Chains A and B, each alone.
Chain A
Amino acid sequence: MNAINLLPAHRIVRQARRRRRRLWTGIVIAYALATGLGAGSYWLANRTAADLTAELASLVRESAETKAAWARSSALLQQKRQRLAAGSVAGRHADWSLLLAYLAQARGDQIVYETIDIQPRATATNPASPGSPLTPGFSILLEGWSVSPLVAQEFAVRLEQSALFDRVTLVENKTGERQGLAAAMFRVACDLDGSRVPTLAEVPDAKP
């Protein structure tokens, strides 16, 4: 008596079926939503990680490429610098043809060169101002024979007076014998400032 239902049985069945269908529809929709949400979140999370990984890899690759390019550029720069330095050095040296022409002219008839040695001047203290390095330049060592020590001495003075050289030193001047004749063996060291290139005007009677 507590509760009765006089709805036709088939209607109750239909109603129950409809309610079940509605319930399951709700459950399916809720499940689909939950699954979709979960999958979406998972996909989103994974996609972000993948993106980050790819981005990181790309950055690492770019960084490596940049480093390599930088290394190549550095090497190239170094090479260019060296070339530039070499070019600079080569470009600033004296005009050897003029110098050699002058040296040939300056020796006269009484002097014979045995050796003309031109070397880049090693860094050394400037004797004019102690403590400051000597400017880069060249050391020219002239070795040879003269008819007498006096002639060698006059030759050194002549070089000194030419103003081509920073300094002219008569390193050695001694009498000796050459090919059965009395002669004087001399050695003169000349310092040439590398930044100064002798010009025609500076070289007395230069005939290049």
Chain B
Amino acid sequence: MTHLANGHAHSRSWASAFGRASRLTAIGLDTDDRGVFAVQLARGRSGWALRSVLSISTPSLDPDESSEPSLAELLERSGFSGKRAIAPAPADKLIRSLLDLPARQAGLPLDQIAAQELARVHRTDVDALQTAWWELPHPTRGSDATPALALGLAHADAEAYTDRLEAQGVEIERLETRGVALARAASGVLRQCGGVSAIAYLGWNQASILIYAKGTIVYERAVDELRALPVHVALSERLELDPELVMHAMEHIGLVGDGRRDSLPHEAVAILREHVDAIASELHASFSYVAHRYNDEDLGRVLLAGPHASIPGLASTIAERLGAECDLLTPAMLVEVPESLQSFAEASRLCTAIGLAMPASQNQRLAEDSA
């Protein structure tokens, strides 16, 4: 299934193309094993607005399958401008560590130290690793050290992944993490919550939890147990249904129909409840760690994002389990959604792409506004 949408009429004149290019973002390109979700933003009246959207299910990004239109062609048909794209790094290849770096001093090469330390912890060659790190708030019971969250991606993995995407005609300008992209997109929402908030990204074959506190990501972890794939497999086996029907049942019936005629069979509901329990449990564990580290018991808000976060009843059940507010993160909460793209206003699967497309300065502006 493919959704192509463009919030503006096509106009190919040079002048208009130049004008558009100056106020458009790069393409936020989120991919997983079951779909490609791309977003391009334009400056709206009061911030960024959705301008073009591409949402494809079960795509083929294999460059050998040349019969399919390339991703660049699909993007162009959907009204995207340019080929510059920002993609999330493959989560299963990312390495993460919480580090205690030396206290900041003038001339101290913290970048090199963080990279060395991350490579040492994961027993890999620092020269074959691209790293990023950011400073965390000092924990309540901490030393003078600089607490940091460091991320790394092996050059070989980055090259392979980027080459695969660029074979589709796009130009990968940056590789980020979904957590960073989601935090940037939702920073305004998260800051309004106060205390400690969380975003659970629930994808087909990738899932992660990030905790946001004191204006930054203080914790991020990939949690394979929360992926939709195992749930889908279990449901397919239990219900003995076509995979597409199972997918439809997950997305449209979920937990809401529990106990009614149109609800899923008890066995299926039990599988979904197990899945929800796992999510709640992981969130609770992550919250507990952060609360302990920062001595902050105030659980703010849980946001669910990703292609499989919109299971009916999921947010309410998690809210009930955790005793905290839990909502589905939607494009409408992050950017202006024009009338022509209203069908995507609640599409949580686009949130990562929105975050990727959103310029970094936007995060700062929203943070300042909310402050």
Contacts and interface: CB of A to CB of B under 8 A. Distances in A.
A7 B180 contact: no
Main secondary structure of the interface of B (DSSP, over half): strand
Contacts of B151: 4, 6
A7 B159 CA distance: 8
B174 A7 contact: yes
Contacts of A9: 130
Nearest to B134: A1
A4 B132 contact: yes
Interface residues of A, number: 12
A11 B163 CA distance: 11
Given A8-B130, A8-B155, A9-B130, A3 B162 contact: no
B337 interface: no
A1 B150 CA distance: 10
B173 interface: yes
B177 interface: yes
B176 A1 contact: no
A1 B158 CA distance: 19
Contacts of B152: 6
Interface of A: 1-11, 15
Given A1-B180, A1-B183, A15-B173, A6 B217 contact: no
Contacts of B172: 7
A5 to B, nearest CB: 5
User: Which range contains the number of B residues in contact with the other chain?
Assistant: 20 to 34
A4 B177 contact: yes
Given A9-B130, A15-B173, A4 B158 contact: no
A144 to B, nearest CB: 114
B364 interface: yes
A5 B132 contact: yes
A3 B149 CA distance: 13
B216 interface: yes
B175 interface: yes
B130 A3 contact: no
Contacts of B162: 7, 11
Nearest to A7: B175
B134 A3 contact: no
Given A7-B162, A7-B172, A15-B173, A1 B216 contact: yes
B363 interface: yes
B360 interface: yes
A1 B173 contact: no
